[in-house]
Amino acid sequence: MSKPTRQLVYEGKAIDVSIERWGDRAAEVVEHPGAVAVVAVDTERAITLVRQQRIPAGGPLLELPAGTLEHGEEPLAAARRELAEETGLSGGRWRTGPAVYTTPGFCRELMHLFLAEDLQRGDANPQDDEEFELVRWPVGEIAAHLGEIEDAKTLLGLLLFLGEHDGPAAFR
C-alpha cells in the first residue's frame, strides 16, 4: 500500500472533510481526533447516563458520558475529564475496554470504551454549550432499559458491561 496523501476540502467549526488518496484509490473522510465513552458505576452500584438534545438525531438521546479527545490527550485522561465535566463523578477503579471505529466507511473516529466503578459523586461542570440531564439506574435494572437506548456506543457499552458477568472479560 503506497503512503496516503490528504487534501482538506471542507473546514468547518466542528467538522473537517479531507480527500485521502492511497495509490489509485480515494475516499472522502470526515476528520476526527478520536473519542471516549464511559460505563460509569458509582459507589452505590448505580450507572449514570446523560440525556441531551442531539440535533443530528432530531431530539434527545440517552447516552454514556462521552466526548472527544483534545489535542495530544490520552484516551484515559480524556475519559476522566469528560466524565467529571458531564456528571461530577470522579475517582474509582478504571478498566479499559475495546476501541472501535464508529463509522469506518466515511469517518476516522475511533471510540475508546472504559468501565469505571466505585466512582464518587460530585458536582458536574458542563461546558457552556452543553445541557445535560443526568439519569441514574441501579445496575440491576440496566437490562430492562436496553430497549430505550438509541445510541450505538451506549448500547455497546451496556452490553459489554452486562456480559462481564457471564463471558470473557471485555474490560481489562
Rule CB under 8 A: say whether 153 interacts with its own copies. Answer: yes
CA–chain centroid gap for 88, Å, is 16
Report how far residue 16's alpha carbon sits from residue 127's, in angstroms, rounded to the nearest whole number. 22
Out of 131, 133, 141, 148, pick the active-site residue. 131
150 is catalytic: no
Sequence length of the chain is 172
Cell numbers 492511497: residue: 22
CB of 28 to its own copies, least distance (A): 5
The correct pick among 73, 85, 150, 164 for binding its own copies (CB under 8 A) is: 150
Closest contact distance (angstroms) between CB of 55 and its own copies is 4
Q: Is 130 in the site for its own copies (CB under 8 A)?
A: no
Nearest CA to 38 out of 108, 109, 114 is that of 114
Specify the stretch interacting with its own copies by CB under 8 A; choose among 42-50, 82-90, 133-141, 143-151: 143-151
Paired with 94 in beta bridges are: 116
Residue 63 binds its own copies, judged by CB under 8 A: yes
Give me the least distance between CB of 144 and its own copies, in Å please: 8
From the list 7, 103, 120, 125, which residue makes contact with its own copies (rule: CB under 8 A)?
103
State yes or no: residue 77 binds its own copies (CB under 8 A).
no
Output 145-151 pairs: Cβ under 8 A, ≥24 positions apart.
Answer: 148/62, 149/62, 150/57, 150/61, 150/62, 151/61, 151/62, 151/63, 151/64
Helix (H) or strand (E) holding 76: helix 75-87
CB of 138 to its own copies, least distance (A): 17
Q: CA–CA separation, 96 vs 151, rounded Å?
A: 20
> Which residues are the active-site residues?
131
Residues contributing to the site for its own copies (CB under 8 A): 4, 9-10, 12-15, 17, 20, 22, 25-30, 53-57, 61, 63, 68, 98-111, 143-144, 146-147, 149-153, 155-156, 159-160, 162-163, 166-168, 170
